[in-house]
């Protein structure tokens, strides 16, 4: 018995890739890829570009999917249209609702390959697997400093 798939499937950027194998029966082979488990959002009022060389922003994170060993990817290309920058200089991550866990951003070599490590209150990194409710229910904000495009 074949499972029916919609004619058009939408993949998130850097998400699981689908390649058509047999269009008549709409079968697809799923190739394991990176999930975009962290969504970064910035409200227009939370961006300050009044400084000469830097842009400051406060972003909110939304977590879904699975936490991989070593941290999840922070992809700042999601918000380049709000930051008008191609260089993130520093990032701080903080829980806004009193969660005892904490988050550590790890600088990448490009906008799309930073990492965010998530830790339990005692200092143990969360285990690989589905994000726990303490993370998905948390309000996590980033304080971002980016270099202006001059």
49-88 pLDDT per residue, tens: 999 999 999 999 999 999 999 999 999 999 999 988 999 9
Using DSSP, state whether 17 is helix, strand or coil: strand
Helices (H) and strands (E) in the chain, counts: 2, 12
* CA 52/CA 54 separation, integer angstroms: 6
Give the residue-averaged pLDDT of 98-102: 87
Q: For residue 150, what pLDDT is reported? A: 77
% residues pLDDT > 70 (the chain): 76
* CA 99/CA 102 separation, integer angstroms: 8
Between 3 and 85, residue with greater pLDDT: 85
Whole-Å CA distances, 56 to 59, 95, 111, 139, 143: 10, 18, 16, 19, 7
Q: Domain spans of the chain? A: 1-33, 38-147
Q: For residue 128, what pLDDT is reported? A: 96
- Flag whether pLDDT at 2 surpasses 50: no
Domain 38-147 listed as CATH 3.30.565.10: no
């Amino acid at each position: 018995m074949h499972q029916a798939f919609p004619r058009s499937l939408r993949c998130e950027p850097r998400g699981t890739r689908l390649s058509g194998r047999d269009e008549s029966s709409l079968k697809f082979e799923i190739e394991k890829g990176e999930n975009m488990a962290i969504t970064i959002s910035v409200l227009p009022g939370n961006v300050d570009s009044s400084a000469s060389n830097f842009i400051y922003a406060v972003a909110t994170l939304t977590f879904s999917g699975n936490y991989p060993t070593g941290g999840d990817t922070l992809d700042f290309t999601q918000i380049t249209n709000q930051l008008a920058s191609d260089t993130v200089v520093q990032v701080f991550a903080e829980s806004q609702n009193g969660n005892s866990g904490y988050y550590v951003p790890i600088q990448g070599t490009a906008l799309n390959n930073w990492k965010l490590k998530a830790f339990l209150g005692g200092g143990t990194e969360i285990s690989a697997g589905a994000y726990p409710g303490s993370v998905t229910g948390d309000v996590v904000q980033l304080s971002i400093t980016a270099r202006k495009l001059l």
